[in-house]
Amino acid sequence: MLACLSCSLGLFNICRFGILSIHFGANFMFQFFFLSLFIGLPLFTLQLCLGQQLGAGVIDMWRISPLFQGVGVSLLVSQALIGLYSITGVSWMFVYFRDSFITKMDKYRWAEAFNPYRKVTDQFVNISHKLSDTIPDYLSGVVYQRTNLVYGNVYGTIKFQPAFNLAVVWMIVFVSLSKGLRSYGKVIYVFILLPVFATFILCAKLLGMMPHEYINVIFPETSWSEFFTNPKSWIAACQEVFLTWGLLGAAVMQIASHNKNKHLLQRDSSLIVVITFSVLTLIAFLANTCVQILRSYEYTYRPNSFEKISTYTFMRSVKD
């Protein structure tokens, strides 16, 4: 059950859902839940039932018709590519985890100017810089290691920091799968339950930091008059439904194929749905709470693009 939960809840799902709830407000959340009820959950349940009933993965299930075995192979390749892509974001989190323990002159690293971007010299090192500049600099320069923004359109090279973090992540994956599904079934408790509990703790902490005058407007972008007429919100909800319940369908079928035929699939699927909805709702509150806290400190959040230095600032001071 927890292994299938990792297919519906991931780093990219959580980040996307939080950002989209900031842009479209509570409208997006209700649209997502509505579409999930009629499209996403039937698709997810079908994948679980197929995997358990057939007792085979995405390749073996097509032995009934050898003509379609290429479908299973393509699904397996696509799942591998998605895994390679998704695990990069996990390696970036290692950078935040490391720098959260490091301070210099009572400042975290994301409060300092990134030298290649801001041309900082030793004689000006004590000058305080705007957080609206230093945080995007940290994300793009320290986490992403994007030096090509400074030196022009040049081909990037393999950086030691992200390569080392990826090596650590893949070592954890290989150790988790070293003894097959038995070892994976044990470590999945840590990989799934610990982040869920940490999310609850973080949400409680941020709600305590939120000013009381902003509690009644947690979702400021909500416009109920545009609930049925805003096509962008509906399109975003449709995309999120597929990315949450259908993107890793081949992995869900593979995991469910190891269940016994009499396994209580309805119980597992119900728990997965409840936990997924609960965590995504909590993430939406968490993201909008962060925006309200920024607003209380006279900062505003805005959409950004990381292609250029001039467009990658995602927070701006109200005083500017």
The reply to whether 13 sits in an annotated binding site is yes
Q: What are the backbone dihedrals phi and psi of residue 103, each rounded to the nearest 5 degrees, phi first?
A: -130, 150
**For residue range 30-63, what is the model confidence (pLDDT) as tens digits?**
999 999 999 999 999 999 998 888 888 888 887 7
Contact indicator for 131, 301 with CB cutoff of 8 Å: no
Give how many domains the chain has, as a whole number: 1
Band (pLDDT 50/70/90 cuts) for residue 226 is confident
- Give yes or no for residue 154 having a pLDDT over 70: no
Output the pLDDT for position 270.
Answer: 92
**For residue range 229-266, what is the model confidence (pLDDT) as tens digits?**
889 999 999 999 999 999 998 889 888 888 888 888 88
User: Whole domain around residue 276: which residue ranges?
Assistant: 2-317
Q: Which residue in this structure is represented by tokens 């600099």?
A: 137
Helical H segments across the chain, by residue range: 2-8, 11-24, 26-35, 41-54, 69-99, 115-118, 131-137, 148-151, 160-176, 181-188, 194-209, 231-245, 249-256, 265-296
**Percentage of the chain modeled with pLDDT above 90:** 21
**For residue range 177-208, what is the model confidence (pLDDT) as tens digits?**
877 766 777 777 788 888 888 888 888 888 78
Contact indicator for 221, 39 with CB cutoff of 8 Å: no
Band (pLDDT 50/70/90 cuts) for residue 150 is low
Tokens (6 digits) for 61 = 């299930």
- Report the predicted TM-score, pTM, of the whole model to 2 decimal places: 0.86
